[in-house]
Chains A and B, each alone.
Chain A
């Protein structure tokens, strides 16, 4: 049972957060992991998420926001169920990263930071994701897909569409 009786998070995440704040020499060190894990569950950093995390750490919601706005993975409105992040930094650019990005734009009908009408996909052009030697590379949520071709873009979208249809 979580110490936070009014938690908006699942019992599992709530219990994880109870432990997380005790792990470090100072509670506040749990802030960034908590924001990311909360976003994984809720989809974005809503006001309610920020309020609860602030309460758990013992700082103001404004302080939480001040930190959260710094980190590029954290967002304040919902993304698609599958967030497609295309790297176009130098190593990927040299091997066709922009063509991959263009293909996703065309296939999904959305641009940078766009979300499809059905909420299934969102698209982002991102900075280096640490897959330079296997470029061009993307991440869909946390999954890497590397050594991409334009043709494989379609297969990847299909893979996530059927994953969604399978209810997973």
Chain B
């Protein structure tokens, strides 16, 4: 069972029911559960969307798109059925927040799905979890069954004339399926390759119907937003970044774990106060602020607030909120190699710049780390990565290129130190075993 952590600076909203047995519906109800869904049903779609817009809640999957606005793009009238799709395909290295939500508070995801359905006029919601999360899928399936038993799901939810069904779906191992259009392909029983956009899912999505796709954390936040009111939720965060965020601290950190902190909370404080500093009192070398696809930050770049805008201004991204701390004993070339190996493995192969680019980057970095690199390789790595940027259907190409560019630009000296057959100064093992 993954351990829970706590820090006094935390503002527990999404995590407020963690560790309290809220996976059982009676406990969830005692803790105020399903009150927001009832209220949403009474107040109607316009009220829901206005509250969501006022909350300033932005997509927790990584893109940070305002949730209320996303919902408002769904056409009111549609010949085809509309759908809600919850993205629980959590696969970005450094990210394990949804893991805890499904484990401790599955009903919040179900309640959020119902509310999203009411907002857009959908009768069906899908909750898609990555296949590796089998024990969590079972927890969510039990919770869904409980909600059906109580009449919170079904033909007449909460005794009303409104219908809403929820289907839990398993993946079978694919990072790319976390991309929204690939997710829809996978749910339609196909290979998880992205669709060309436009049309956007809000217009033509799952089974061709208008579809809202939200990250599991976003959806789990929705009932809380309606319970406390959009404006009150917005007030907790920073400018244009409402509320709290689940930050996953991992890597060389003294107290790793998932912490819920207000948006805009200092990255320096996350590392040195919340996380207790670099493990073993070592020096900080670098930090990946929002999952493996976000460009690395240097120790002198951590005096920023952790929200979408401030991290963006610092040249990186808030991404999935997975903060990976790297100490001074780590080889950045090896870290870059392990990162690109992941993207090479996960590239679906649909777009040539991504398929070939990740492969060549992995080959170049493997050779480089093994001590067979040349000066020209450093420029070639950069050239390759630059030419992947913005040239693919989905963001996986960028996700592979951006961190690579960050490593090469910010740690060029360390790359040069690997030249002329010199052994890796940090070698823990002869070479990265390649998946």
B93 within 8 A of A: yes
* B-contact bits for A22-62, CB 8 A (1 contact / 0 none): 01111011111101100000000000000000000100000
Residues of A close to B348: CB separation below 8 A: 70
CA–CA, A146 and B175, complex, Å: 21
Q: Are B256 and A133 touching (Cβ within 8 A)?
A: yes
B330 within 8 A of A: yes
B428 within 8 A of A: yes
Interface 9-residue window, one of B34-42, B130-138, B265-273, B379-387: B130-138
A150 within 8 A of B: no
CA–CA, A131 and B327, complex, Å: 20
Q: Are B251 and A90 touching (Cβ within 8 A)?
A: yes
Given A26-B207, A90-B288, A98-B429, A133–B192 Cβ distance below 8 Å? Answer: no
B375 within 8 A of A: no
**Distance of B211 from chain A, by nearest CB (Å):** 12
Which one of B131, B171, B172, B207 has the highest number of Cβ atoms from chain A below 10 Å of its Cβ?
B172
Interface 9-residue window, one of A8-16, A71-79, A154-162: A71-79
Residues of A close to B207: CB separation below 8 A: 25-26
CA–CA, A132 and B92, complex, Å: 10
Given A93-B338, A147-B3, A130–B90 Cβ distance below 8 Å? Answer: yes
Q: Are A90 and B131 touching (Cβ within 8 A)?
A: no
Q: Which of B2, B186, B428, B435 contacts A146 (CB 8 A)?
A: B2
Residues of A close to B135: CB separation below 8 A: 142-144
Identify whether the interface residues of A are mostly helix, strand, loop, or mixed: mixed
A112 within 8 A of B: yes
CA–CA, A81 and B171, complex, Å: 22
A67 within 8 A of B: yes
CA–CA, A134 and B251, complex, Å: 9
Q: Are B131 and A133 touching (Cβ within 8 A)?
A: no
Q: Which of B169, B322, B342 contacts A132 (CB 8 A)?
A: B322
Q: Are A28 and B81 touching (Cβ within 8 A)?
A: no
Q: Are B170 and A33 touching (Cβ within 8 A)?
A: yes
Q: Which of B133, B189, B257, B339 contacts A90 (CB 8 A)?
A: B339
Q: Are A139 and B251 touching (Cβ within 8 A)?
A: no
* A-contact bits for B223-256, CB 8 A (1 contact / 0 none): 0000000000000000000000000111110001
Residues of B close to A102: CB separation below 8 A: 429
A interface residues with partner B (beta carbon < 8 Å): 23-26, 28-33, 35-36, 57, 66-67, 70-74, 88-91, 93-95, 98, 101-102, 112, 125-135, 139, 142-144, 146-147
8 residue pairs bridging A and B, Cβ less than 8 Å apart: A36-B172, A71-B171, A72-B172, A90-B324, A91-B251, A102-B429, A128-B95, A135-B251
List the 5 closest A-B pairs by CB distance, nearest first: A73-B173, A28-B189, A31-B189, A72-B173, A71-B172
